[in-house]
Structure 1
Amino acid sequence: MRIYCDEVMESGCPARQPGQRKLRVRVHGHCFVVNKDLLAQNCEYFRALFQSGMKECQEDEICLRCVGLLGFQVMMQVLEGGRPMLNCDQIVEAIECAAFLQVPSLTKHLINVINSENCLLMFHTASTFGVWDLFHNSALFIQDIYSDLKDDLCTLPKTLTDYVEALIPASYMAVCSHSPSSDELENFQRTVSYLDEELKEWKALTQLPSSASTTMAGVAVLDNKLYIVGGVHDVSKNIVQSGFCYNPLTNSWSTICRPNQLRYNLTLVGHDGCLYALGGECDHKELSSVERYRVANGHWSYVSQLPRQSASVVSAVALDRIFICLWKGRGASDIFEYSPEKDQWILETTLVRDQSYGLCMVPHKDNLYLMRNGPCNDFLLCVMDCYNVSSRQWTAMPGQYVNSKGSLFTAAVKGDSVFTLSRKVTTEYTIEDYKWKRKREMTGFGRIGSIYTFLMRLPKTTLPLAERSAASAPGQRSGNIDGHRRHLVRCVDNL
């Protein structure tokens, strides 16, 4: 966005399109020419203003005194489709703008760019201006890296630190590939497990439903619920007909309808209230079709196909954007972004490395870390390249990130840490300046077969599976925690 002092300027491309209603907005001596309809659609302040019948409704120029220049500039960038990374001054003014002008898309963007450097600023500023969605999500992020920020938290009011300490941290979770069980008795191998970081060991959380399969299935977390879709019964590759959903707050499983196209070896992605079933196989043929499941209405529908047929698609969600990696051949891997608004796959970049293709993609801040097989097709080794989605630049990562104990072909990010595991060892890495530094090792996940890993927030009173029968109802426990949160929000509101 261009800024010229005391001059009229266009805020961005959408305002220059013919036939759109334009409005001049003056902010601290700077005049923006903006799309009036864009403001009305996205800002509650402007929507109410334009519908109020006041004289400002008919004027071609208005003056805003309640927000800062930087905040309004960031807001317009976001409304026009930009995803800017923000410095401290921009963050403060953007939060102020989101509060006074009531701009949900700006709040959503601020949530998406929370990181270890800005989370405390986001948290405190959001509490000051009453942007509660941002306040809560900043607090969750702080809870996830609590030990790293414990000294800094002492500078905040006690009510704010109490709020953080009452929240549930994310847990590193894993489940192995299992076919449906025909046993009437419980099979304690067929479990979803979580890592107890204090004891550095894995504990069982819940058993898989007897008819569920995680063999060649799609596994994803959406809104803190675990979904399993597809999968096969046995070596004949008969596909499981139902999908399954686990809610940790109630410790219960439910079923969801299957996609229109039966599929296995699919990739399942959770994003913005929807599940996306990408590609996969059926009858030993790779698929390019993609289906979207809207949790709100419980229906699957087809969306734009993958650029080419593919199974076990490598995927990641960074800055609330869905990215996939598809092997192009001859050492080339294409990175595509899916735009739900346009229902379109857009080529983002291509990485070319001899005799190599992507195996796993890990998001952190505005970076995508692409793991690929090492030299001489040695799949016990892997190397990494980092792609920055803001600068659109690749950086080769030094060294190799797998030893004889473990594998990086599955990983999950919490704060500035990356967790990965094998049957022998669970390893936590710290991401620092395009380097992954080994932080600590814990007990491995001693199961056979492919491993799916993800993050979920479990009730603080979660017990190992063998002990849960003696505990009270999980729904009641989580309700007490939710009530405590509401009490803290009311306290913060009175600051």
Structure 2
Amino acid sequence: MDCGLPEPEEREWWAGCLTVRVEDSCFAVQRDFLARHSSYFQALFHSGMIESRRDEVHLRGGVRAKGFLIALSVCRGESPALDDPDQLVDAVECAAFLQVECLAQYLCEIVDSDNCLLLYQAASTFGLRVLFHGAALFLSDSFYDLGDVAEGAIPQDLVDYARSLPAASYVAIGTHTPSVERLHDSFRVVCHLDEQEGEWKHLTELPTACSTSMAGVAVLDNRLYIVGGVHGYRKDTVDGNFCYDPETGLWTALRGPLQPRHDFTLVGFNRRLYAVGGEFQQQLISATESYDAAKDEWTFVCHAPRPVASAACAVARRRMFVCFWRPPGTTDIFEYVPAGNAWRLETTMVRAQSYGHCMVAHRDHLYVMRNGPCDDFLRCLMECYSITTGQWTTLAGQYINSKGSLFTAAVRGDSAFTVKHMLTLEYAVTGDGWKPRRQMKGFPKSGSLWTCLLRLPRMGSVVPQLDADTEKEGKRSLPGTAEEQAEAV
């Protein structure tokens, strides 16, 4: 949020400290800090009213002390644990009243099956539309687990709205090099899993210039990005880079990274794409770039800790993690921190003759798939790392790689999906491992696969009305159409 720069004669006042009184507590906070993070304070300080110049502001309604303290913590870049229901409600009320965008986003990112219904109803009550829609999407993804609980626990119009939203679909793409216009290749398709029928169906065809061989594939803001890749026996890097929007069903071309690369890691995080490492002219590289989709612009950021190719990555609790392996059996997990443009070593996993080649996140846990014993490379073992406690746990069970490709997985709600040529499996993610939930048909094409989650459009969303108490108290209302709801995300 851009609060603008004050005039030179006002800068001393602007940088001064303000006492904010909430209930019986007082907080000393810098004015510019409040203006950066809260639209409420930004408007107050620019209003020209007498209150804007006072050394103390008393927030008499709409905010509790615990909620304000949580907001300050999140605005400082911290990730407070919000396990108590009262804390969650206070945080929602504060985010809505003071219009603290980063707190609203934080609440969206900590939605899980334990707090989903509470946050959904609280967001409806206080008119926090981005959280309202985010919690509704999570409930849409989790009706298998939460549907029976939701009925009767929250108003029926909220249940109906969540049911009207499309659950995220499991999407798979085969590995292909560029084609030519005059040759129609029926294998160059993107497929989605129809869970009701238990089989894979056609979603779209790849652009002819698009390569998925050693490319970067990621989802950002519900758009599928395919960047780079190779063609030819010399593995020359291709120039074609594409974005698929499921809402329109159209592919658009976009600029490629400043550093040509293939076999790199592409991850959607913090409203940007990040391209990490890769290979160029038969050399591993550590160059890392950030892509701004609104500007169609790549910029270099801090180099990765060391050259790496095809590194596993995951985003958990607003944090981006990447695996870097060191032979013969060490996997270092680094976090990239955008605020400081720096890499930080999070943890190290040491397993004999093994490395992490796939990583997914569920809540505050990273699940790392690693190859099994050296004489059975196609069997995966799973390690679980808690970013909260810093502890590693080896989970029971083995997971079979698909023939010709390494393990691939995606997490939706409390489910994990994996696929190979013969079988697609859904697992229930629990505290002690992944438990098989159901199986469906395998991907109809052989070879290595890319997988991700996309929300495919569904017509006829029904937007619920606000609680009567919300309108009576004059709290901000939710948007009145499905389109406005979508814009809020």
- Would you say same fold, with TM above 0.5? yes
Which residue of 2 is the match for residue 151 of structure 1?
Answer: 148
For residue 394 of structure 1, report the CA deviation from its aligned partner.
2.1
Q: For the Cα contact (< 8 Å) 1:405–1:424, is it kept in 2?
A: no
Choose from 424, 432, 435 the match for 1:434.
432
Which residue of 2 is the match for residue 63 of structure 1?
Answer: 58
RMSD of aligned Cα (Å):
2.3
Output the amino acid matched with 1:81.
G
Which residue of 2 is the match for residue 4 of structure 1?
Answer: none
Output the amino acid matched with 2:79.
R
Which residue of 1 is the match for residue 398 of structure 2?
Answer: 400
Determine what percentage of the aligned residue pairs are the same residue: 49
**2:74 pairs with 1:78:** yes
Choose from 106, 110, 119 the match for 1:109.
106
Q: 1:172 to 1:489 in 2, by over 3 A?
A: farther
Which residue of 2 is the match for residue 47 of structure 1?
Answer: 42
**With structure 2 as the length reference, what TM-score do the two structures score?**
0.88
For residue 237 of structure 1, report the CA deviation from its aligned partner.
0.8
CA distance, structure 2, for counterparts of residue 346 and residue 56 of structure 1: 43
Q: For the Cα contact (< 8 Å) 2:176–2:212, is it kept in 1?
A: yes
The residue matched to 1:23 in structure 2 has which SS? strand
Output the amino acid matched with 1:76.
L
CA distance, structure 1, for counterparts of residue 156 and residue 406 of structure 2: 40
Q: For the Cα contact (< 8 Å) 1:27–1:65, is it kept in 2?
A: yes
Q: For the Cα contact (< 8 Å) 2:169–2:454, is it kept in 1?
A: yes
Q: 1:21 to 1:334 in 2, by over 3 A?
A: farther
Cα deviations by residue, 1:330-368 (Å, 9 ceiling, x for unpaired): 422111111222211111122222222111111001111
**With structure 1 as the length reference, what TM-score do the two structures score?**
0.87
Task: Please list, as runs of the form range in 1=range in 2, the aligned pairs for 1:131-170 lying within 5 A after superposition.
Answer: 131-155=128-152, 156-170=154-168
Cα deviations by residue, 1:20-62 (Å, 9 ceiling, x for unpaired): 6333333332333333321121112222233334444444443
For residue 408 of structure 1, report the CA deviation from its aligned partner.
7.0
Task: Please list, as runs of the form range in 1=range in 2, the aligned pairs for 1:207-286 lying within 5 A after superposition.
Answer: 207-286=205-284
Greater alpha carbon shift after TM alignment, 77-86 vs 326-335? 326-335
CA distance, structure 2, for counterparts of residue 104 and residue 403 of structure 1: 41
Between 1 and 2, higher relative CO (CA 8 Å, sep ≥ 6) is seen in: 2
Cα deviations by residue, 1:404-453 (Å, 9 ceiling, x for unpaired): 99987210000000000111111111111131111111111132221100
Q: For the Cα contact (< 8 Å) 1:407–1:420, is it kept in 2?
A: no
* Structure 1: 4+ residue segments shifted above 4 A: 403-408, 487-495
Which residue of 1 is the match for residue 412 of structure 2?
Answer: 414
Q: For the Cα contact (< 8 Å) 2:334–2:347, is it kept in 1?
A: yes
Which residue of 2 is the match for residue 91 of structure 1?
Answer: 88
Q: For the Cα contact (< 8 Å) 1:407–1:421, is it kept in 2?
A: no
Q: 1:400 to 1:278 in 2, by over 3 A?
A: same
The residue matched to 2:197 in structure 1 has which SS? coil
CA distance, structure 2, for counterparts of residue 20 and residue 52 of structure 1: 17
Q: For the Cα contact (< 8 Å) 1:153–1:161, is it kept in 2?
A: yes
CA distance, structure 2, for counterparts of residue 165 and residue 37 of structure 1: 42
Q: For the Cα contact (< 8 Å) 2:265–2:276, is it kept in 1?
A: yes
Which residue of 1 is the match for residue 21 of structure 2?
Answer: 26
Q: For the Cα contact (< 8 Å) 1:355–1:375, is it kept in 2?
A: yes
CA distance, structure 2, for counterparts of residue 260 and residue 421 of structure 1: 33
Name stretches of at least 5 consecutive residues in structure 1 with no aligned partner: 1-18, 461-479
Name stretches of at least 5 consecutive residues in structure 2 with no aligned partner: 1-13, 472-476, 478-489
The residue matched to 1:437 in structure 2 has which SS? strand
CA distance, structure 2, for counterparts of residue 459 and residue 49 of structure 1: 40
Which residue of 2 is the match for residue 471 of structure 1?
Answer: none
Which residue of 2 is the match for residue 446 of structure 1?
Answer: 444
For residue 269 of structure 1, report the CA deviation from its aligned partner.
1.0
For residue 217 of structure 1, report the CA deviation from its aligned partner.
0.6
Choose from 87, 97, 100 the match for 1:100.
97
